[in-house]
Structure 1
Amino acid sequence: MYDTEIAIVGAGAAGLSLAYHLCAAPSKAPSIVLIDAPPGPLRPPERTWCFWEQLRGEFDEVTSADWSTLRLRGPDGISVTGSPAPLRYKMLRSRSFETFVHKRLEATPGVTRLAAAVHDVRDGPQGAQVRATGSRGETLTLRARWVFDSRPLPRLPPARTTLLQHFRGWFLRLDQPAFDPGVADLMDFRTPQPRHGLSFGYVLPSSPYEALVEYTEFSASVLNDAGYDQALRTYVGDQLGLEKYEVHRIEQGVIPMTDARFPRRAGRSVFRIGTAGGATRPSTGYTFAAVQRQARAIAHAWHEGRTPHPPPAHSRRSLAMDAVLLRALDTGRVNGAGFFTGLFTNVPMERLLRFLDGATRWHEDFRIGLHTPVRPMLRTAIELPLLPRLSTARERTLPASRRQHGRQKEM
């Protein structure tokens, strides 16, 4: 029997980040049990998390690459290149982040790491009880004053619109230099576009010889492995002009893009964090930065003796705009490639990234909105409140997202 102040279920980006921020002041850190899935099918493979922030950040020592110049290529091949200064786009590998956080946890008294498969979290008047099965098959019961659960929800909540951001990435290695390590391609729309939604290539070079190259779609259904590989071969060969390359690692995932509401409180003493707690930005899939905001706020509340309720990850205004965009994409009223190309062409890159992170003010949002297809967006905004939130066949287990800014590239 374990007894602790805080139990964190899941040691992905959300769980690790919360443990990290709770231990920011070791002399005041609570007793914590961090429960990770045992090695096997329940533990996700290594992921890549991308986000943007100012030049210096607290995870810079384990960031694998960063870029001060970003590029978007339209369907016609014309590129838009710019600097988001003072912001930089950063890439973080999950294994490096885990090692970094675990060093802090090991130096903090009262922190216990536990490998177990959690199958039940029960709320109570004075705390909560976590029931799990250990790595040797033993039954474990843990009592905690507060439980933060980052496990994927069993089903997506009812929504008016649900699309999927699904992708497959190849980590490429070349014999001859071909990449510009100073420029990241956020979206390359020289890919066949689905009727509803969009698709694009995504290129993050770490050296002239190495890069993460992805094929991504926003659409209603995923592809099979052969479909992703064919799309990648076509993009790498026809658009990037590469004939000889080695694929030394593969990354694949699905991120829900939905206007569903994700309750952050599951009981008196039980809270949801991460994607299950609404941290994923519906219009882009980025999660990692929102996870950090939530984790800092939870830790701050606990240190002040307040109920550590996770705050909303995104403002109501941001979520309302995202709902309009998702509906417009899903109905086919808005051409996705044209929509994002227009934004990157007409809006300063630093302002656009702040917009995508929900950090712009209403008057900035209004001006940015003038660079979108106004009539179809207005039509969608008018009809949206009249649409019911439905549970549909698209409901599914929420997958672990690696682009957590998001996208957890969480776009």
Structure 2
Amino acid sequence: MYDTEVAVVGGGAAGLSLAHRLCAPPPGARGPRVTVVDAPPGPLRPPERTWCYWEVPGGEYDGVLAASWDRLRVHGADGAEVTGRPGPLRYKMMRSGAFEQLVGARLAATPAADRLTAVVEDVRALPDGAEVRGVTPEGGPLRLRARWVFDSRPLPALPPARTTLLQHFHGWFIRTERPEFDPTTADLMDFRTPQPDHGLSFGYVLPLSPYEALAEYTEFSAAPLDEAAYHRALRRYLAEVRALGPYRITASEQGVIPMTDARFPRAAGPRVFRIGAAGGATRPSTGYTFAAVQRQTRAIATAFHQGRTPAPPPPHSARSRLMDAVLLRALDSGRIDGADFFTGLFRGVPMERLLRFLDGGTRLREDLSIGLHTPVRPMLRTVAELPRLRRRPPARPART
């Protein structure tokens, strides 16, 4: 006997998106009873954070966006500027709290959806389902039996990989005394920052008004910095590169995203599946996750509503994963200059096509054309090297 038909472990982007889609079947289809198990406030529930993605206007979350832009800019290490419009796509920014409030309200209005709070310690396979085991905030046991379980909790350790870098960043929401920002243009990558020997670094500025912006310092490298180093890098970037006048910090955020060519197993049991970053939704070459989570959860819900096994599909194609593996290895080996690599792509490829490429939405012919705007010889050398490299467990724990 089951307590619920579907249990979703984790109330972040992946868990809430899946629960919402399962509870909104198309006409004539049956929706399941869904129970979302949220972690209680504390270290297992991440602080509010920013998610960015690109799509055409009119998306299902447009009503809660913090901002969006149809003009994007990249600065090379030499200061050369590349600006373009990715139309019909827009670059969109959303705060996790706004998303959780919107989807949480939709679930609260759905009779077939329940939400529980507990620390999940284990998910055990049963002959025709699985049992979620944990501890409630009051200290009591949680035993929840379900026909299907979808687990979005971070993995305790990353799977073996040939290359693992970390995308780590620290950002400030700032307010200036005078108008400093162009709200029509988002700065995706500004490489006028000191570059590490292996990997890359850049500034990232999302203007919210002429006086407000989210400014981040980001690195793709082997290990995170300490907080003081992030602060020094941000102050230097804002003062020396952006020549910003007086400002005050109104909020901050930081994160560490694994960039790896590891294989993420999506099945943890016959009826237990991993979703979100734990299921490989993070794009290895960019760190973007939200758009892939939406594709993944949409496919799971569609399969369920059509009476098929709701197994998560691969969030990224085999061709995309191979190209990402080549890029990660080339960056980590120092074979290519990361700043020059990305600047060259934005300079040589139409911005709309490049964003589709970074989201895995281009055809083979387009991929080959884009490849001609990369350092061909070192990339081909890396392609030849990959089959000889062993996959090894990373020395660092998984952190998201």
TM bucket normalised to smaller? over 0.9
Distance (whole Å) between structure 1 residues aligned to residue 256 and residue 53 of structure 2: 17
1:187-244: CA deviation from partner (whole Å, max 9, x where unpaired): 0000000000000000000100100000000000110000000000000111111131
Partner of residue 6, structure 1: 6
Higher relative CO (Cα under 8 Å, sequence separation at least 6) belongs to 1
1:345 is aligned to: 347
1:17 corresponding residue in structure 2: 17
CA distance in 1, matches of 2:197, 2:156: 29
Q: How does 1:288-367 map to 2 (within 5 A)?
A: 288-367=290-369
**2-side partners of 1:243 and 1:208: how far apart?**
13
Following superposition, the deviation at residue 146 of structure 1 comes to: 0.4
Instruction: Using the TM superposition, give the Cα deviation of residue 25 of structure 1 relative to its aligned residue in structure 2, in angstroms.
Output: 2.9
1:397 counterpart letter in structure 2: A
Specify the SS of the correspondent of 2:267.
coil
TM-superposed CA distance for 1:110, in Å, is 1.8
1:2 deviation in Å? 7.3
Which residue in the other structure is 1:43 paired with? 45
- After superposition, residues 135-214 of structure 1 pair within 5 angstroms as 135-214=137-216
Q: Percent sequence identity over matched residues?
A: 68
Q: Distance in 2 between matches of 1:299 and 1:35?
A: 18
Alignment partners' CA distance in 1, 2:282 and 2:171 = 20
Aligned counterparts of 1:56 and 1:79: Cα–Cα separation in 2 = 30
Q: Which amino acid in 1 is paired with 2:117?
A: A
The whole-number CA distance in structure 2 between the counterparts of 1:119 and 1:2 is 19
Aligned equivalents of 1:42, 1:353: Cα separation in 2:
33
2:399 is equivalent to residue 398 of structure 1:
yes
Scaled by the length of structure 2, the TM-score of the pair is: 0.98
SS in structure 2 opposite 1:28? Answer: coil
* Distance in 2, Cα, partners of 1:365 & 1:264: 27
Kept after mapping to 2: 8 A contact 1:2/1:141: no
Instruction: Write out aligned runs for 1:225-240 (5 A).
Output: 225-240=227-242
Question: How far, CA to CA, are the matches of 1:365 and 1:258 in structure 2?
Answer: 21
Structure 2 Cα separation of the partners of residues 308 and 152 of structure 1? 21
**Equivalent residue of 1:321, what SS?**
helix
User: What residue is the counterpart of 1:382 in the other structure?
Assistant: 384
Give the Cα–Cα distance (whole angstroms) in 1 for the partners of residues 31 and 251 of structure 2.
Answer: 38
Name the counterpart of 1:129: 131
Task: Say which SS state the counterpart of residue 146 (structure 1) adopts.
Answer: strand
> Which range moved further: 17-26 or 193-202?
17-26
User: Does structure 1 conserve the Cα–Cα contact (< 8 Å) formed by 2:194 and 2:201?
Assistant: yes
Q: Deviations over 1:71-92 (max 9, x none)?
A: 0000111110000000000001
Q: Please say if residues 175 and 213 of structure 2, whose CA atoms lie closer than 8 Å, have aligned partners that are also in contact.
A: yes
Structure 1: where are the runs of 5+ without partners? 400-411
Distance across 2 between alignment mates of 1:264 and 1:58: 26
RMSD: 1.1
2:256 matched residue in structure 1: 254
Q: 1:286 aligns with which of 288, 304, 310?
A: 288
**Residue identity opposite 1:116 in structure 2:** A
Letter in 2 for 1:277: G
Cα distance between partner residues in 2 of 1:114 and 1:53: 33
CA offsets per residue over residues 49-71 of structure 1, 9 Å max, x none? 00000011010000110000000
Q: Which deviates further from its counterpart, 191-200 or 1-10?
A: 1-10
Q: Which residue of 2 aligns with 1:404?
A: none
The code of the aligned residue for 2:189 comes to M
Determine helix, strand or coil for the equivalent of 2:118: strand
Equivalent residues in 2 for 1:254-273, closer than 5 Å = 254-273=256-275
Contact 2:133 2:141 in 1 (8 A): yes
Cα distance in 2 for partners of 1:386, 1:110 equals 51
* Closer, same or farther: CA 392–25 of 1 in aligned 2, 3 Å: closer
Write the distance in 1 (CA, Å) between the matches of 2:378 and 2:166.
Answer: 22
